[in-house]
Amino acid sequence: MPILTLRGEHITLAQALKAAGLADSGGQAKHLARSGTVRVNDQVTVQPGRKLHAGDRFGVDGHDEWTIGTGPSTEEPSEFE
């Protein structure tokens, strides 16, 4: 399971989707989040502004699930505040 490492206390779902490479732009990330194909902690969500914190999991149907982490990652690092 890939890990998205953050520096601050949270990241929005749309920012996380973009940082994970699941969307190419912020607008595309918002559209994707509203499409009903995104899950956060195993629950479908349509809120691109939802705040994700360390330990939260998110993913898009048909793609790997990502975990929000706070420490160094062994996966490809992506850092957002």
The answer to whether residue 10 sits within a structural domain is yes
Exposed (0-12), middle (13-18) or buried (19+): which is 42, by Cβ within 10 Å? exposed
The answer to whether residue 36 sits within a structural domain is yes
Q: Which domain holds residue 31?
A: 3-69
The answer to whether residue 75 sits within a structural domain is no
The answer to whether residue 11 sits within a structural domain is yes
- Please tell me the pTM assigned to this model: 0.84
pLDDT given at position 73: 47
Domain count, the chain: 1
Question: Residue 63 sits in a domain of what CATH number?
Answer: 3.10.290.10
Q: Which pLDDT band holds residue 3 (cuts at 50, 70, 90)?
A: very high
Give the phi and the psi of residue 28 in degrees, each rounded to 5.
Answer: -65, -40
The answer to whether residue 78 sits within a structural domain is no
Express each pLDDT in 42-69 by its tens digit: 999 999 999 999 999 999 999 999 999 9
The answer to whether residue 54 sits within a structural domain is yes
The answer to whether residue 79 sits within a structural domain is no
The answer to whether residue 64 sits within a structural domain is yes
**Measured CA distances, 19 to 12, 28, 33 (Å):** 10, 12, 14
